[in-house]
Chain A
Amino acid sequence: SQQGEEDPQALSIQEGENATMNCSYKTSINNLQWYRQNSGRGLVHLILIRSNEREKHSGRLRVTLDTSKKSSSLLITASRAADTASYFCATVRTGEYGNKLVFGAGTILRVKS
């Protein structure tokens, strides 16, 4: 079964506000990744956090990871209209045939200007 359940499913905020999206997963992980998909465009890798890390920053992005709760959060600070997109968390599932990304359903973020 798929894992990486994001919430909320949709989020609408004003430009300048912060946006927080959460992700839960079910199995043990090596790392958790966040991706963004703008309308009509492909998935863009945003940030990767390893299982032994608790927090990671990249520009206006802040990701936290709580392996005891099997959850992660993505915080976008000082949001901009250009941040409007769908955001997905993904975990790497290692199987018999190698590694593959397992995604959740995503959070649709709308930033109003």
Chain B
Amino acid sequence: EAGVTQFPSHSVIEKGQTVTLRCDPISGHDNLYWYRRVMGKEIKFLLHFVKESKQDESGMPNNRFLAERTGGTYSTLKVQPAELEDSGVYFCASSLKTGPFTEAFFGQGTRLTVV
């Protein structure tokens, strides 16, 4: 079974440009999460999808970030326009359920560098 896959693995863009990150969850997992780790700090929650609906987007830093999950399969996270402080590693995770004891499976992350 394929795990969570993220694309690209690494992206370098200039300040002001747009970047779109993609996440393909494990097939059948309704729950999809986005996290990011900035500058070696803690891994912070961004948002949570249940199927195609945004269950919780309380962690989205500002309106330059737009996440979508059309059809409830893969998800995209667009940053427009990118700023220097957006640099970091963006992780996607999926889970079958959403209970407190449910294991979340993470992708390898996308390392975003804004210059």
Interface residues in chain A, defined as those with a beta carbon under 8 Å from any beta carbon in chain B: 2, 4, 30-31, 35, 40-45, 48, 50, 88, 90, 92, 94-106
Q: Mark B68-111, 1 if CB is under 8 A from A, else 0.
A: 00000000000000000000000101000011111111111100
Question: B106 near A105 (CB under 8 angstroms)?
Answer: no
Which of A41, A96, A97, A106 is in CB contact (< 8 Å) with B42?
Answer: A106
Known: A4-B42, A30-B100, A102-B45. A97 touches B56 (CB 8 A): yes
Complex Cα spacing A94 to B56, Å: 11
Q: Mark B33-47, 1 if CB is under 8 A from A, else 0.
A: 101000011111100
Question: A97 near B58 (CB under 8 angstroms)?
Answer: yes
Known: A43-B91, A43-B106, A100-B33. A94 touches B43 (CB 8 A): no
Known: A42-B109, A45-B105. A97 touches B48 (CB 8 A): yes
**A-B contact count, CB below 8 Å?**
72
Q: Which of A30, A40, A43, A50 has the most CB of B within 10 A?
A: A43
Question: B108 near A95 (CB under 8 angstroms)?
Answer: no
Does B55 sit at the interface, judged by CB under 8 A?
yes
Does B21 sit at the interface, judged by CB under 8 A?
no
Q: Which residue of A lies closest to B5 (CB)?
A: A42
Q: Which residues of A contact B112 (CB under 8 A)?
A: none
B104 to chain A, nearest CB (A): 6
Known: A100-B33, A102-B45. A45 touches B103 (CB 8 A): yes
Question: B107 near A2 (CB under 8 angstroms)?
Answer: no
